[in-house]
């Protein structure tokens, strides 16, 4: 792409963004990250994934984004590094332990976990404090990790469905093991309550189990019989009826929404508007924590898409995104022989309804508050 053409595209997108974003802030990491994890409402943890030494950083969001009033009087528009350290290898998965200054990571090479102290007021250094031995010395995808919402710090982890176990961080004691003989690799692992968790497999199967009992888990088989398709799963979390739902998205762009209480049935489904097969480790689907029916999807390209599942039906249909964040793709100049920029991760802000954070393969990190196109011209409401 010629420089002049690139500048024109960038200028057009910038003008468009004045109408489509309430806020948009950009940060450039020295090396790209595949992990974005909130450590508080105004700070996020990131880490590199190269095979050698990587930075692990806690970034504070721009103060101007967080200001509810008089934003024009707030001069601070940049991300700030509040704590930092180094890892000896890649970080492919990172989970913050709620209520602590502790995080747990996995390198994607084995199922072992690394435990980190994120520092505090007296120290700005992130340092490794321990490890948890996994079941596999080598793993194609590494472990998935979920922190138990309450009680003493505990993590659920595993590379395959038969590996899943609950470990207490302080003692390293195994408190629970999932009883199944399946060797299906995991694509997601999350708690849907303090004791009940959902494990999504790459083949589209979903297991639901309770850590209080050794009873076999509930199993919902894949929505598709295609063997070459990889699936990613997310469950809505919260007390509302709309929170009892699970979405599965495939590498071919098929999306299926089910009720958590009846995973075998498809509540609604759609074919997402994606143009390339999903990369096997980067695709991510997430329910919006405070917007009913909205999901976000990334990993198919340099774009983050927002969809309204309320518009989907019982039969498969093509779905158009409600909103697309194209900032990563637009701001990365491509040549004929360059590798296209793709989004490596994204997360919703836990409290701000339309604020998301996204990262891309060029090292860019964006935090953006999007405007619902159906509400433009009116006051933005959740």
Residue 132: inside a domain? yes
Q: Per the domain annotation, does 324 fall within a domain?
A: no
DSSP 3-state of 364? strand
15 is a domain residue: no
Query: Is 276 inside any structural domain?
Result: no
Domain that holds residue 102: 31-221
Q: Name the residue with tokens 């199967």.
A: 205
pTM above 0.95, yes or no: no
User: 343 lies in a domain?
Assistant: no
Ordered per-residue pLDDT tens for the chain, 382 residues: 556 665 666 677 778 888 899 999 899 999 999 999 999 999 999 999 999 899 999 999 988 787 665 555 454 568 999 999 999 999 999 999 999 999 999 999 999 999 999 999 999 999 999 999 988 766 677 999 999 988 789 999 999 999 999 999 999 999 999 989 899 999 999 999 999 999 999 999 999 999 999 889 999 999 887 777 899 999 987 666 556 899 999 999 999 999 998 888 778 999 999 976 666 567 999 999 999 999 999 999 999 999 999 999 998 899 999 999 999 988 776 555 668 899 999 999 999 999 999 999 999 999 999 999 887 654 434 3
Q: What is the DSSP string of 235-264?
A: E--SSSGGGSEEEEEETTSEEEEEETTBTT
Please check whether residue 124 lies inside any domain of the structure.
Answer: yes
The answer for residues whose C-beta is within 8 angstroms of residue 378's C-beta and 6 or more apart is: none
Task: List the CATH number of the domain containing 198.
Answer: 2.130.10.10
SS3 content of the chain, % helix, strand, coil (to 5): 10, 40, 50
Is residue 350 assigned to a domain? no
Structural domain count, the chain: 1
Structural domain includes residue 135: yes
- Cα(174)–Cα(152) distance, rounded to whole angstroms? 13
Q: Which of 353, 382, 372, 321 is nearest to 19 (CA)?
A: 372
């Amino acid at each position: 792409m010629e420089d002049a053409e690139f500048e024109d595209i960038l200028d057009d997108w910038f003008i468009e963004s004045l109408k489509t974003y309430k806020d948009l802030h950009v940060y450039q990491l020295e090396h790209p990250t595949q992990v974005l994890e909130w450590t508080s409402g105004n700070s996020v943890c990131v880490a590199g994934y190269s095979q050698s030494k990587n930075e692990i950083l806690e970034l504070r969001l721009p103060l101007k984004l967080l200001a509810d009033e008089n934003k024009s009087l707030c001069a601070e528009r940049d991300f700030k590094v509040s704590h930092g350290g180094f890892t000896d290898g890649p970080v492919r998965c990172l989970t913050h332990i709620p209520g602590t200054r502790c995080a747990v990571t996995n390198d994607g090479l084995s199922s072992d976990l690394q435990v980190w102290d994120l520092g505090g007021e007296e120290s700005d250094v992130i340092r490794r404090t321990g490890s948890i031995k996994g079941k596999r010395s080598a793993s194609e995808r590494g472990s998935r990790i979920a922190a138990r919402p309450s009680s003493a710090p505990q993590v659920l982890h595993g590379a395959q469905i038969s590996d899943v176990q609950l470990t207490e961080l302080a003692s390293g004691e195994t408190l629970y093991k999932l009883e199944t003989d399946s060797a299906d690799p995991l694509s997601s692992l999350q708690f849907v309550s303090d004791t009940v968790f959902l494990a999504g497999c790459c083949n589209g199967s979903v297991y639901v189990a309770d850590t209080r009992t050794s009873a076999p888990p509930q199993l919902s088989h894949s929505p598709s019989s295609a063997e070459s398709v990889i699936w990613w799963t997310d469950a809505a979390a919260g007390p509302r009826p709309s929170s009892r739902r699970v979405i599965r998205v495939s590498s071919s762009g098929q999306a299926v929404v089910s009720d958590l209480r009846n995973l075998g049935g498809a509540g609604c489904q759609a074919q997402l508007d994606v143009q390339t097969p999903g990369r096997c480790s980067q695709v991510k689907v997430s329910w919006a924590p405070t917007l009913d029916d909205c999901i976000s999807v990334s990993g198919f390209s340099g774009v983050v898409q927002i969809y309204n599942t309320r518009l989907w039906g019982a039969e498969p249909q093509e779905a158009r995104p409600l909103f697309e964040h194209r900032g990563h793709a637009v701001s990365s100049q491509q040549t004929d022989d360059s590798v296209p920029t793709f989004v490596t991760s994204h997360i919703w802000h836990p409290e701000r309804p339309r604020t998301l954070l996204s990262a891309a393969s060029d090292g860019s990190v964006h935090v953006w508050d999007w405007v619902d196109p159906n509400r433009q011209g009116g006051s933005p409401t959740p």
